[in-house]
Amino acid sequence: MVNEGAGAATASTLAKGPTPAASIQIDVAAAIAAAKKPDKTSDVKLLNEIRAKIESGEFEIDYDKVAESILGDAIAASLSRVR
């Protein structure tokens, strides 16, 4: 004997589709995007400071930091690939 009530609930669930594993509210996503948006005034200020240091000969490259960043990006990219 089959319980039709249970079958009807399953059919109803299947008609709606799968439930997402995660969800995010749109207002939260907008806040995150706004927080990641760079402040143009600080970018211009930083660029002017860098230009002044280059012109005066005071600009120094931190090669260890550059190498660390390149390796970190390469590792992150290799881990994010679908295998």
The confidence score (pLDDT) of residue 10 equals 54
CA distances from 26 to 7, 29, 49, 65 (A): 35, 5, 37, 36
Q: Is residue 73 part of a domain?
A: yes
- Residue 21: inside a domain: no
Q: What is the mean pLDDT of the chain?
A: 76
Q: What is the pLDDT of residues 44-72, one digit of tens each?
A: 888 999 999 999 999 889 999 999 999 99
Range of the domain at 57: 38-83
Q: Which amino acid is at 73?
A: D
Please tell me which residue, 65 or 30, carries the higher pLDDT value: 65
pTM: 0.39
Residue 7 domain-assigned (yes or no): no
Rounded distance between C-alpha atoms, residue 61 and residue 4, angstroms: 73
For position 18, what pLDDT does the model report? 67
Does any domain span residue 66? yes
- Say yes or no to pLDDT of 26 above 80: no
Domain count, the chain: 1
